[in-house]
Amino acid sequence: MRLSDEERAMLAGEFGEVRRWAIAHQVGVGEFFDAADFVAVSQAHIMADTESLGEAGVRFLERLAAAPENERRARVPTITDPQGIDFAIYRRLGQSDWMAALERRAINALRAFGVLMTDTCINYQTTMAPVRGDHVAYGDTGVVIYSNSLLGARSNFEGGPSALGAALTGRTPRYGYHLEQCRCGTRRFRLKETPRDFSEWGAVGGIVGEACGSYWQVPLIEGVEAIPGADDLKHLGTAMASFGSVALFHMPGITPDAAVLAASSAEPTGIGREDIDAFVARYAAAGDKLDVVVFGAPQLSLFEIERVAQALDGRQVHPDTTVLVTTSPEIKHAADRMGLTQRIEAAGAVVAQGICFYQSYAREMAEANGWTRLMTNSAKLVNIIGGYGYRPSLASLKRCVDSAIAGRVI
């Protein structure tokens, strides 16, 4: 990689050991992807829940955090993805005190870098959305695909160590979706049916993601007749990223980048009613006893929380079923203030802040609570959670709530 004088000095340790580690890590990754140089970033977003970090990762952060302040402060505004614990309710969810203790250590270390603990995977809906052409270092696949596709920002998937590196150096290796030539569409799809709800937008994302199957594919989705809502596209993108590792899509007339196809303009792959139904049917479990319903992954917007409240008004969740709603601390505060939390919890559901379920010791929660059958309207979550020992079912918000009331999958 071609390095500036400042970058060479950083690599030589002239800015301290913390920044030396950061840029050495970034150079290693950049050379792997043939990056020519670095690009300055305006924000970093770090995924640093303790389920992923483990004791080893927390010790690593604590070691860096012990450096002198001028050597460890982030150079750009830096925020966090969901954490592993909501301290107000973790015991109620079957999480343990050791998990909370580890989480506190991670938070203390991150604060030492000047990181703002936003604990959210919907920062584009709650914190500070990037603008078109903005180079950022975001650490959540759903955040990256939304920011790249809907907002026209430039980011790769930046895992925790690399996002921390970007925070400490103020830059990231210029490869992948920082380069215009990587942002052209590579594969066409045509939507023949408008999805009816978030679970179906997620299903379309899953279908496109599986068909692409690679970070380096950029789907171009045609045939979208009505302008989808931001939450619709949030579910579409997070599922696409989860099922296919896709980081950018184009939707002509809706997304801001010119939807240029890189290669031949082969006939698009059609996605119709039968494809969406078949995708949802993969997770069918009608009649099964229902252990837990999760609204999360990604965290809910204020409008989504209002929909959950409306669906639960005047009803009671079955005593053998847990309903968990996850959102960012800012949205939780708004939901408290507007009475939405009270309406949801009056029905027996739980509203959690700053977590996103699967990053929250999901396997241990299943074991502690005896949970197996999980229901959600998040296609992303059904894709992830099978590996944690759950049997997931995908359905609309309404059917999830109806099932939670009945205590079995409807």
Partner 1 sequence: MPILLRCHKGIGPAVIGGALVAADNFSASYDLDRVRGIFSRPTHKLAGESFVARILVLDNAKGGVATAWMLHEMAARAIVPRALIFNRVNPILAQGAAFGNVALVDRFDGDVTQLFRTGDELRVDPAGGTVEILNRDH
Yes or no: say if 272 and 309 are a contact pair by the CB < 8 Å rule.
Answer: no
Cα-based distances in Å from 400 to 94, 183, 198, 306: 22, 37, 12, 15
> Rule CB under 8 A: is residue 115 a binding residue for partner 1?
no
Q: Which of 96, 215, 346, 368 binds partner 1 (CB under 8 A)?
A: 215
Yes or no: say if 353 and 213 are a contact pair by the CB < 8 Å rule.
Answer: no
Based on the number of CB atoms within 10 Å of its own CB, is 404 exposed (0-12), middle (13-18) or buried (19 or more)?
buried
- Output the smallest distance, CB 386 to partner 1, in A: 6
Residue closer to partner 1, measured from CB, 245 or 310:
245
Structure tokens at 205: 């994302």
* Cα three-residue angle 127-133-137, rounded to 5 degrees: 55
> Rule CB under 8 A: is residue 169 a binding residue for partner 1?
no
- Output the smallest distance, CB 132 to partner 1, in A: 22
Of residues 123 through 142, those in contact with partner 1 by CB under 8 A are: 139-141
Distance CA 329, CA 315 (A): 26
Distance CA 211, CA 243 (A): 9
Q: Which of 51, 103, 231, 291 binds partner 1 (CB under 8 A)?
A: 51
Q: Which of 8, 12, 14, 28 binds partner 1 (CB under 8 A)?
A: 28
> Rule CB under 8 A: is residue 56 a binding residue for partner 1?
yes
Selected range binding partner 1 among 127-135, 237-245, 249-257, 321-329, rule: CB under 8 A: 237-245
> Rule CB under 8 A: is residue 52 a binding residue for partner 1?
yes
> Rule CB under 8 A: is residue 216 a binding residue for partner 1?
yes
- Output the smallest distance, CB 178 to partner 1, in A: 11
Of residues 248 through 287, those in contact with partner 1 by CB under 8 A are: none
- Nearest-CA neighbor of 326 among 373, 279, 290, 362? 362
- Output the smallest distance, CB 395 to partner 1, in A: 19
> Rule CB under 8 A: is residue 213 a binding residue for partner 1?
yes
- The radius of gyration of the chain from alpha carbons, rounded to an integer in Å, stands at 21
- Exposure b/e, 86-110, CB count within 10 A at least 16 = b: beeebeebbbeeebbebbebbbebb
Q: Which residues bind partner 1 (CB under 8 A)?
A: 25, 28-29, 31-33, 47-49, 51-57, 60, 81, 139-141, 156-162, 176, 213-216, 241-245, 247, 358-359, 363, 383-384, 386-389
